[in-house]
Amino acid sequence: MPQRKKQTQKTLVSSLKRIKLLILDVDGVLTDGKLVYNSDGIELKSFDVKDGYGLIRLKQSGVRLGIITAKMSSIVETRSRDLGIDRLYQNVANKLDAYEDIKKTFNLGDREIAYIGDDVPDLVVLRQAGVPIAVHDAVGPVRAAAVYITKHCGGNGAVREVADMILKAQGRLPDEQ
């Protein structure tokens, strides 16, 4: 698959104006990608509160939110509920199937969807979404497939960066920005 051309700032803003759905991976995007277990073998995840606030503001502005992740986690279910995520897909072997389902559910075209990923399993969706985005610390093939690479790493403000970009492009960023 050929590398996608990075968009100019003007073209990126134009693409972000059309976004009606933001879909995220979890590990490496909403988290820093580290797997942490307590002494009982229970997995722990750490989420950036600023990323969460950015998602809540997106949701309040009318942008729908989705998560597609290969793992199953009650922690992700709880975080999704806290953030008002519209569609959560966990334990997904083929992320493209989940992507097509959410696209059909909301009756959207690819150009109306942005996706943020960090690793190889995200490539199938990144190649389909209208605005494919890689977090700063994504692997090489993901960075190559993206039209935008965040300045922040996954779990450390990358999602907030994208949320603010969408809000700004759509003229919905509050004055404090």
pLDDT at 176 > cutoff 60: no
The fold of the 9-169 domain, in CATH, is Rossmann fold (3.40.50)
What mean pLDDT do residues 137-153 have? 97
pLDDT tens digits, one per residue of 5-50: 555 677 899 999 999 999 999 999 999 999 899 999 999 999 999 9
Domain ranges in the chain are 9-169
pLDDT tens digits, one per residue of 125-144: 999 999 999 999 999 999 99
Euclidean distance between CA atoms 141 and 118, whole angstroms: 9
pLDDT at 170 > cutoff 70: yes
Helix (H) or strand (E) holding 4: none
Residue 174 has what pLDDT? 65
pTM of the complete model beyond 0.85: yes
Buried b (16+ CB within 10 A) or exposed e, 15-46: bbebbbbbbbbbbbbbbbbeeeeeeeeeeebe
